[in-house]
Amino acid sequence: MNPLDWRTVPLQKVASDILGLDYIPLQTRLKSGLEKVKHPKPYICFSEFSTMQAKLWNYEGGWQAIINYLNGLGYDCISISKEKSQLQGIIDHCNQSIEQTISDIVGCEFYIGLNHGPSWIAYSLGIPYVMIDGLAEEWNNPPNPYRIKIDVGCKPCFNNIDIPINRSWDWCTNGNKFACTKSITPELVIETINRLREDIKR
């Protein structure tokens, strides 16, 4: 029903185009209706999973390096994925209700994730978040100064209408190499986390 190819416009614009409305980007103000989780230490929330491998952070050992770094800073790291995490040094809140997940995010200092639903939840709650992204153009998602993306020479596949989209798990237009996120190092993610933390203090 969209008069424009949905891969060429921001996700919010898809709805306004179908309804015939002028597109005005809005930050949804989601209210959890729940109290913040009472936690004895500062904590962050994260989710390492998504619906396609191209959306994952495909740097081997990357997530564990980030968890180790944050644990060393005194943070608890709460996994809010539906899928079970195998990472060490985390608190497992996997496969809980969406209400409990929202409550976790409301109380966290910041969120770390991917181009996936929980990042939109953090955005809607006004929680700063680091997004590790490879497959989409920057305009595809909410504006975020902590979005991490590296140019590896191929146009982001999710918004490249010259290439038919493929919803299979291992779809990659770069010969299944997933170079877009394999090239994102833990050092780059840590640098972004530190910048976010400094901005929170201001």
3-state secondary structure of 46: strand
Residue position matching structure tokens 């140019």: 151
Residue 14 within a domain: no
Residue 25 within a domain: no
Residue 18 within a domain: no
Residue 105 within a domain: yes
Residue 78 within a domain: yes
For residue 88, the model assigns a pLDDT of 98
Range of the domain at 124: 36-201
Residue 142 within a domain: yes
- How many angstroms from the chain centroid is the CA of residue 81? 12
* The total number of structural domains that make up the chain: 1
Alpha carbon distance 101, 121 (integer Å): 9
Residue 182 within a domain: yes
Q: Give one DSSP letter per residue of 61-116, joined into a string.
A: THHHHHHHHHHHTT-EEEE--SSPP--SS-EE-TT--HHHHHHHHHHSS-EEEESS
Number of residues that this document lists for the chain: 202
Give the Å distances, CA to CA, from 58 to 27, 63, 84, 173, 191. Answer: 29, 9, 17, 15, 18
For residue 108, the model assigns a pLDDT of 95
For residue 122, the model assigns a pLDDT of 95
Residue 12 within a domain: no
Alpha carbon distance 144, 149 (integer Å): 12
Among 80, 26, 1, 75, CA closest to 48:
80
For residue 12, the model assigns a pLDDT of 86
CATH of the domain at 80: 3.40.50.2000
For residue 141, the model assigns a pLDDT of 87
Question: pLDDT truncated to tens, each residue of the chain (202 aa)?
Answer: 888 999 999 988 998 999 999 998 888 887 766 666 678 899 999 999 999 999 999 999 999 999 999 999 999 999 999 999 999 999 999 999 998 999 999 999 999 999 999 999 999 999 999 999 998 999 998 889 999 998 888 888 889 999 888 888 988 887 768 999 999 999 999 999 999 999 998 8
